[in-house]
Structures are given as C-alpha cells and as structure tokens.
Structure 1
C-alpha cells in the first residue's frame, strides 16, 4: 500500500466541456514556463509521463486536481497572486469555492473489490481504434476495453512510482458509448463506464488518453468486501 497526497481545488467559474483546454491554457499563462507539471512540456519536447496536475470540470465548474508531486507544485499557482484569466472570449476572476486535501491510500488487494465510474474515457489510439471498430463481436470489444483500462491503471501507478505485486483485475459492468470526440483534429472514441477492480484508486484521478484535460475522470462508488 502506498499513501499519497491529493488536492482538489474547485473554482466558482462555470465551464462547458469544450472549455477545459482553454481553462488549462489560462492557468499556464499565469505561471513561469519552467513549471513543467502544469503544462508537461520540456524545451521543444513533451513530458511523456502521467500528469500530476490535471484540469477538470467538476459539477460544471473549473477545477484542478493534483496528486503526489503535483500537490507540492501547486504553491506556484497561489504565489502568482493573479487569478484574472481569459477563458475563450470571457474574462474571469477565479474565486476558490472548495479545497479538498487528502492523504489517500493506493493499493492492489486480492481480497477486496472496489467499484468505480469513469466518465468521458478515451481508451483508444489511432491503431486500436481501427481494430476496435472492425470488430463486430461486442464481447470481444469489451475484453479489449478491459485490457486497455488495465493498462491505463498500470500506467498511472507507474507514473506515481507505485509497484504492485498482485495482478491488476478489471471488470467493466456497464458501457455507455458517447459521441466521438474531436481532439486536435483526431476523432476519438469516448465512453462512460462503470467497473470493478481490485485496485484502490483516489477520487477524481484521471485515466486514459488526455487525462490532463478532463477526460477519464474517476468517481469512487463503493468498496465491496
């Protein structure tokens, strides 16, 4: 079992789904470029690692979710002492509505099952999107998605420096396909799912593609013995 800090900051600013990337851009403009965890760019390249600071829309409002080292870095945002931002064509003075700091356990358990919901999940890349859409067998598609979700969880654990000895188990109970998402000109398959796993995960953590900008938001529902 690993214990990590998480921090969720919710603002009073209303957002629609397509404004999350603009919200991210507005926050980044307030900060020095060297603060890599806010934008995940290194010089002319990209930081290919799990995002430790994530931009989200929670209850229709702008929010930041930080985990691990991201919690330690959030002080740079407050030190800027500037909460006047432009999101799209609108100017906002960000007012903090709620701050939720937690010390959470992350573990892979052989005796407990945890139930979750995952919203706006983007599981497929260009290669497996073609494979997925060419498969007419829904059970085979579900198995493929479960394998991808397992990989998403393992990638997150690796990005947080967590090793698990037990096998990660995932069972998707319900799948609701959403309209495809166009992200930077690429069409992406999108879904809301409910699933069980033997991995204990924190509330609001992001899984899957583009987790840094509001996709794949996890909600903890129940913990079953």
Structure 2
C-alpha cells in the first residue's frame, strides 16, 4: 500500500536563531490578523486545541527561517501568501522577509523491508511522567530501549496524524545518542536529545516529531546512502 504525501517546504533568505522560531510563528499569525486557519496554530478556540499532528510547522533550516507544510497544510498556507505582507516583528527585530524557495514534492511514507538512517535534532521525547522514569533508570541500555519505544510511538503518531496506515510493525534502533541538554519553552525546562537512528519507515526530510514539533523541535533529516536490508 503506497502513501504519497504532499509536502511543501518554504524557505526564506532571512537568518533566524533557534530561540526566534516561536516568535517567527507568532509573527505569521499576527500577519493573518487573527483569522488564521486552525492549521497555523492548532487552537480550536481559547480553551481547546487541535491535538492531531501539526500540518504546518515553523523551522530553522540551514540557519534560515522556513515553513514545512504537509497534506492539508499545503493548501492552507495559501492564506499567508494571499495576505501579501512579509514584513513583521520577530521578537525584537523588525524584519522584511525575503522568499528564498518554494519546493513542492511528494514523499512515500510507509514501512519497508529495508532500514533507513535518520538524525533528529532537539528531540523532546519526555513528558513529566516518563522523565521521572528515565531519570530512575541506571543502565544505558535500559535508557536506550526506553527512548526507542518512545520514538516508535512518535512515528506512529506521525503516521496516524497524516492518515497513513503502516502495514508492517515499525522498527527503530538508536545508533547514536549524544548527551541530553536542557531547552526552555514558555519558561519550562525540557530535556532535549540529538540522536541518529535506523527505522524501516521512510520519512520526509524536515518533519518534526515529539513534543513541540510545530516550532522547530524534533526535526528529522535523512542520512543519505544508509540503507540496510532486513528479513521479510
């Protein structure tokens, strides 16, 4: 069963810091004058949220501001371009955004008989509950197995959020795990990870997985020329 997913990667020429990504998102919402499609912000109203996988995501790609849109998000983003204003405040900076490129493409998202290698940057796998479980673990292998199970859950959440049914069991194995580091979001400190892993699921470049995927966390990129055959 094939699952071609429409993706739109919009890159700007403007540099942006990691800390400015939430401000970049807020500036775009402000430019839409409070009438943004729910996919831009995932707020149904003041008290409820769209809890499904984010189909419009705000990124920093090669140091520049970017937006990644998936499925219905590729159509919703037209609202931003129709406004015709690319000048707004990003934090304390007044910025005239310059469009760099708009790349539409399709990506086949499914499970295979091969393993593909990916890296994730600033992945936030731990909520308050599983953070305590992770901290209580003493063995490295135990921690890695725990993170692998969360990674599989994240990939299942992604596939469900884009309407893809995976025919085979998702397999994941961490191949590189750097020391975790703390990041702060809305005044809350969270433990982030930079990892490399192999999986039998093909994934689009620049999607986000895990917590805060819509604002530049958990960004996935393919490590090229790394494909490993597994048993059928």
Instruction: State whether structure 2 residue 58 is matched by structure 1 residue 28.
Output: no
* Aligned residue in 2 for 1:104: 107
Q: Does 1:81 align with 2:97?
A: no
The two structures have a TM-score, normalised by structure 2, of 0.94
Unaligned 5+ residue runs, structure 1?
none
Match of 1:113 in 2: 115
CA contact (8 A) 2:36 2:79 kept: no
Q: CA deviation at 1:69?
A: 0.8
* Structure 1 position 58 matched with structure 2 position 61: yes
Is it true that 1:3 corresponds to 2:42 in the alignment? no
> Mapping of 1:204-215 within 5 angstroms?
204-215=206-217
Aligned to 1:190, what secondary structure does the other structure show? strand
TM-score when scaled to structure 1?
Answer: 0.97
Q: Structure 1 residue 93 and structure 2 residue 100: aligned?
A: no
* Ranges of 4+ aligned residues in structure 1 off by more than 6 Å: none
**Aligned-residue CA RMSD (Å):** 1.1
- Aligned residue number for residue 69 of structure 1: 72
SS of match in other structure, 1:162: coil
Gapped regions of structure 2 (runs ≥ 5): none
From 123, 126, 133, give the equivalent of 2:125.
Answer: 123
Q: Report the alpha carbon displacement of residue 74 of structure 1 after superposing the two structures with TM.
A: 1.0
